[in-house]
Structure 1
């Protein structure tokens, strides 16, 4: 998977930006505020979800612009486009080869994974961020996961409305929604567990070198069997009504990560070790996607040189170089990227 051309119109600080890219490394450099991360965010919008910043759509439109934005990417013979209209700034429009499509359909055409400085806190923050991280990985290897997750969330929102209604709802409404949640929820849990198994198998083959080797596990989230999950959700209906929300299901799962060599939780590791473990997971995932889909995912690495010593930086570049695929990276200066600078598409933003 390679973006050959990326065009931004009225996205963040970019009134108009056109980048001719190529396979391999694409390096964006420039001073703080030049809009390097904005470019990566624009690419991340070509996937299901809210992008790498999880920002509201109206915020992404350029302040001095007409109120909407567009992001266009050419991938071989495939054209992907996302954007908003000034008349509906909070609605994401998606077009694939000039035809209107859903956001979840983007996962069928393009696999993306990103790392940002904010994700350095992934292991010390709440479980929701780790679930989103795990689901982004799962979208890339199993495109149907995006559609299944959207259907589960829709059914759960409807059930939560029933739970908080002033008048008791017809039990048959609960039964129908809970059946849908159980079917979709079990599929979500199974997809996550399958991915964790694939990643663990690859990580076990890696020696404890520059990248701290992580051990992965999924905690909670309910059963991967639809009938068992349905029984658990129905049994929890009284408690859920008291809480005003659904307390059982894959939306409550957590990704657990441990430093293999030190046998400690990732949250107790150093910042450099945490970043190294994140990189190890992403690189193992890229290998898994390549095997599953026959095409390597595009990696978006924002300020990837931060918190990495020279040894880890060189090891990262060497591994990325040996695996192939397209990798977009940002940095204020080109010097930290010297090992790959001679073969990278280098875009300097003012």
Structure 2
């Protein structure tokens, strides 16, 4: 069981200073419902929590863009517990010299991204990912099935990252090698040995990336997504990727050699096209309803949303099984496009999972079935207050934490 007992935000978007204790809304704090008008800061709070794991959060924002207007940096810190053992994770952007240490990431503002575990600099980002993972749902993902493959690829890579913390490094290394090759291809006098070196690196990382994606797809397809139990349709996932097809028939080292040869053969055509025609960046994720084999792209908006939620719930259960620890669930506007039956199925599923879940919505009424089981909060003016109509009054933080 993972629990969240305290979240502190400093100069994060519209929050100048916030100390939030989810369990002080009349429940155990495992499920929290945040409501409020558009622009009140609901998604900002979910995004802040998503920044506690490596990456750019659920919005994919630049690190310098999330700090409050006029602030010199930002910070997010949380106190959590796994099976009763408490730990703290913090991250932020600072311009103070000598403060970063440990795992840092550059930012365009000149500051540095800092990660800390239990008050000490994290040795690297993988150490943070090993301690905590998060799964999220955003309204932008409602268009996942009808837009281009890049969004589906990023979605899949986030799922992989939750189980394999080194995956982000492999993706970044692949993209860096690919961009280096693209630059060299634009110069007709480039030494072929330099191109060969970039292609060798690109092939190695592309195979690692595609193998990790293939592994996760296999795990999710093999997971017992029991629709009667979850209330959501089971999905079949498929990778449309030449490298993955090769991996199904040959060992990884053989596929690396094949890809290296293909990149060499395609230099002229790739130079003319301005980019690589083969690599990890060309993969697409195809989804369909397991029971009917109907592609997700042909389903209604409600059916697509149900498939997506079913995948996320199956993924959360897989994380808990494989890692021995549950993920943090961040669901932004999850009830949009869901009928009453599916809404109640989602509530039941969240209450079964051994993980904290945060849900947002404009009004609390659609979440009424959770009354007495979830904490209800109203966001606005850079604050988070309990909704007294749906739960007990929040007494406020201890005197030492009041700001």
Note whether the superposition's TM-score is higher than 0.5: yes
**Which of 185, 190, 200 is the equivalent residue of 1:169?**
190
Distance 1:313-1:159 versus aligned 2 partners, 3 A rule: same
Moved more, 125-134 or 92-101: 92-101
- Mapping for residues 1-350 of structure 1, pairs under 5 Å: 1-21=2-22, 24-63=30-69, 65-76=70-81, 77-85=86-94, 89=109, 93-97=113-117, 98-99=120-121, 101-164=123-186, 166-203=187-224, 205-207=226-228, 210-220=231-241, 222=243, 223-224=246-247, 225=252, 226-350=256-380
- Contact map agreement 1:82 1:93 (CA 8 A) in 2: yes
Question: Displacement, 1:209?
Answer: 7.5
Alpha-carbon distance in 2 for matches of 1:263, 1:270: 15
- Contact map agreement 1:203 1:214 (CA 8 A) in 2: no
Moved more, 178-187 or 247-256: 178-187
Alpha-carbon distance in 2 for matches of 1:327, 1:46: 15
Alpha-carbon distance in 2 for matches of 1:143, 1:168: 39
Structure 2: 5+ residue runs without aligned partners? Answer: 24-28, 97-106, 381-403
Larger Rg over CA atoms: 2
Distance 1:83-1:168 versus aligned 2 partners, 3 A rule: farther
Q: CA RMSD in A?
A: 2.2
Number of residue pairs matched? 348
After TM superposition, the score normalised by the length of structure 1 is: 0.92
Moved segments of 4+, more than 4 Å:
100-105
What whole-Å deviation, never above 9, does each CA across 1:177-213 have from its counterpart, x for those lacking one?
Answer: 2222222111111111110111111255445984233
Alpha-carbon distance in 2 for matches of 1:296, 1:334: 26
Alpha-carbon distance in 1 for matches of 2:163, 2:242: 20
Moved more, 90-99 or 123-132: 90-99
- Contact map agreement 1:57 1:90 (CA 8 A) in 2: no
Question: Displacement, 1:348?
Answer: 2.0
- Contact map agreement 1:94 1:102 (CA 8 A) in 2: no
Moved more, 28-37 or 99-108: 99-108
What whole-Å deviation, never above 9, does each CA across 1:277-325 have from its counterpart, x for those lacking one?
Answer: 0000001111111111000111100011111111101111111212221
Moved more, 74-83 or 233-242: 74-83
Secondary structure of the residue aligned to 1:2 is strand
After TM superposition, the score normalised by the length of structure 2 is: 0.80
Secondary structure of the residue aligned to 2:155 is helix
Distance 1:91-1:145 versus aligned 2 partners, 3 A rule: farther
What whole-Å deviation, never above 9, does each CA across 1:11-65 have from its counterpart, x for those lacking one?
Answer: 11111122123562122122221100011111112223322112222321212x3
Alpha-carbon distance in 1 for matches of 2:56, 2:75: 15
Question: Displacement, 1:167?
Answer: 4.5
Structure 1: 5+ residue runs without aligned partners? Answer: none
